Structure 1
Amino acid sequence: METPDGWELVPAGTPTDGARWVIVDSMEDLSDAARRHGISDRAITLLEHRIPGVHPPAPGHAQRARVDRSPDGELILTTPTLSYVESTHDVHTGALTTVIGTDVVLMAEAGDAQVLDRAVTKLTGGFPVPDEGVHQVLAVVVLTLVAEASDVEIGLGDAVADAEQLVFSTAHQRSPLQEIYDLKREIAEARRALSPVTSVLPELMAEAEEGPGRRLSQPWLRRAEAWVDRVDKHLDGYDDLLSDMLSVHLSQVSVRQNEDVRKISSWAAIAAAPTLVASIYGMNFEHMPELDWTYGYPLAIAAMGAVCVTLYRLFRRSGWL
């Protein structure tokens, strides 16, 4: 399979002459593939120290990103990847390790972001490549990685919009608290994975500025850096919006509780008036007014009803009912 400028995409175990792009199926096999394709021992030592899994991150934290250059000139890049499950609003993180030699690029990916698959499609589909030499593969892969992160940001933005509709919906629905907290957790995970990429891009930029004949690398690196910054700002905005929605929801709950208390208090006051009259007339005294009247009972009932109706209208007018 041919890639731009004569680069050949070959299986990991296939020896060949000329420029090669090797995709290794497993991170554990990356060191062996590097030995077979002529990567120096000192670069392999760095690689074995940086391969994801050698120093596993803490639970819930993305793989750390790092750029290393061996004394023989090979470049080793490790960076996290992002993917988004739209049905569950889950953000998954993985890792991508790249080894760049003189005429060979080796890559291995862990996780379900499928960055390498999309990069292969671009490189073999005639899409323009913003670099030259071994760095053209790196350029396409890094830009694809950032594009995947942008897709994750768009998916989270849609989920935040759905949560906003749920918070402000007048229909009686489930509480949005769980959804808000889940989205804030996923946004935090996405930002933790994106933050290392933000720190790696300036290192790649400095490496490009110092390296001879690397002028083509600087424009796409600047574009990628600006792209990542924009995605991170959007994620930060989504997190702030979710915090505002949480405050609004809690305020709505407080308002509804106050309304319920006012309604309960109003009905309690309406019920208290006839209860008071009935309790007085229920006392066992002989000398009480109107006990011997023929119309005393219906008059008392009518008076209690009139008091209840008056109180009801007053509470309705004041907005308590």
Structure 2
Amino acid sequence: MKTSDGWAPSPPGESSAGPRWVIVASPDDLPAAARRHGLGEQAIALLQHRGPGAHPSGPDHPLRARLDRSSDGEFVLTAPTLSFVEATNDVHTGALICVVGADVVVMSEVGDADVTGRAVEKLTGGFPVPDEGVHQVLAAVVLTMVAEASAVEIALGDAVADLEHVVFTSTRHTDTVERIYDLKREIAEARRALGPVTSMLPELIAEAEESSENRRSRPWLIRAVSWVDRLDNHLDGYDDLLGDMLSVHLSQVSVRQNEDVRKISSWAAIAAAPTLVASIYGMNFENMPELSWTLGYPLSIATMAAVCVSLYALFRRSGWL
């Protein structure tokens, strides 16, 4: 209901004069609440019979955004919501379902984005909200939903920047590929939930243009469309950056493997020199004059040491060691 200080949601069982905003706890209670507050049977039928997956079974199952109109001007709006868990860099998706009539909005939300709670704070806290009547509630909810998606986009951008620092640091990390793929999966989930909103908002714009009563909705809806498009472009850029980071990381792994192979080959060559000399003098032929020399043993040891030192210096100069 509208108060002198702004909007305040009506209790589900209360019916009062003037525009009303009713929030129910579960989507399953929406048809009964809509019927109690005088919404048409056609809108209630749309709410009940929009096919499988219309009501998500949990916050981890995103809802497809859509707008269904009834013949008397009421419409049913469904939209996915987004929230971000900073501790684990996880994107959680929820759902917002509402029925909008001439003077009443009946709404329910699942998930942890708390779009309705923040919209209530915006409307009751004196913050500027465009439009009027029930469309002011719709404006507060839609703009809050997009603002929460924007917060998720910013958090994902920070996570990408942190991961970029990890990829280009000299310290080796064994889980870099897993972290890149995990973050790409979260970005894909955010885009999957946010993308359909771009098809729902133009329908709201068309509905506003067709109605002579709510043409004031068009400016903020156009602003919301631009906002969502910008968020999707940012998420697309983050996904491309993660793909580039993955390529760079794999190149770094290949370079490090080549360095390891060079080091192993260098040490193997150094070890092969004394092994070759020892194996020759270990054949025990009778006609080997060096075996009878007094300086034969120290000379062979010195020769092996000189060869090893020379090889080490050569490999060190070439950058293999």
When the two structures are superposed, what TM-score results if normalisation uses the length of structure 2? 0.95
Cα deviations across residues 160-216 of structure 1 (Å, max 9, x unaligned)? 111111111112444311111111111000000001111101111111111113332
Equivalent position of 1:145 in the other structure: 145
Shift of 1:312: 0.5
Cα deviations across residues 265-313 of structure 1 (Å, max 9, x unaligned)? 0000011111111101111211013221111111111011111111100
Letter in 1 for 2:140: V
Equivalent position of 2:221 in the other structure: 221
The verdict on how the C-alpha distance between 1:46 and 1:122 changes in structure 2, with shifts beyond 3 A counting, is same
Q: Name the count of aligned residue pairs.
A: 321
- 2:259 and 2:8 map into 1 onto residues whose CA distance is 71
Cα deviations across residues 110-162 of structure 1 (Å, max 9, x unaligned)? 11110000000000011112112221110110000000000000111111111
Equivalent position of 1:70 in the other structure: 70
- 1:291 and 1:320 map into 2 onto residues whose CA distance is 36
- 1:52 and 1:146 map into 2 onto residues whose CA distance is 26
The residue matched to 2:143 in structure 1 has which SS? helix
- 1:24 and 1:59 map into 2 onto residues whose CA distance is 16
Map 1:29-48; keep pairs closer than 5 Å. 29-48=29-48
The answer for unaligned runs of 5 or more in structure 1 is none
- 2:282 and 2:52 map into 1 onto residues whose CA distance is 84
Identity of aligned residues (%): 72
Equivalent position of 1:155 in the other structure: 155
The two structures, once aligned, show a CA RMSD in angstroms of: 2.0
Letter in 2 for 1:170: S
- 1:149 and 1:304 map into 2 onto residues whose CA distance is 69
- 2:230 and 2:219 map into 1 onto residues whose CA distance is 17
The verdict on how the C-alpha distance between 1:109 and 1:61 changes in structure 2, with shifts beyond 3 A counting, is closer
The residue matched to 1:291 in structure 2 has which SS? helix
Q: 208-217 or 293-302, which moves further after superposition? A: 208-217
Equivalent position of 2:133 in the other structure: 133
User: Is 2:164 the partner of 1:164?
Assistant: yes
The verdict on how the C-alpha distance between 1:223 and 1:259 changes in structure 2, with shifts beyond 3 A counting, is same
* Conserved 8 A contact 2:5-2:126: no
Map 1:131-280; keep pairs closer than 5 Å. 131-280=131-280
When the two structures are superposed, what TM-score results if normalisation uses the length of structure 1? 0.95
- 2:291 and 2:279 map into 1 onto residues whose CA distance is 14
- 1:13 and 1:33 map into 2 onto residues whose CA distance is 7
The verdict on how the C-alpha distance between 1:113 and 1:295 changes in structure 2, with shifts beyond 3 A counting, is same
- 2:215 and 2:277 map into 1 onto residues whose CA distance is 95
- 1:197 and 1:166 map into 2 onto residues whose CA distance is 33
Shift of 1:80: 0.6
* Conserved 8 A contact 2:58-2:94: no
The verdict on how the C-alpha distance between 1:290 and 1:3 changes in structure 2, with shifts beyond 3 A counting, is farther
- 2:214 and 2:77 map into 1 onto residues whose CA distance is 17
Shift of 1:102: 1.1
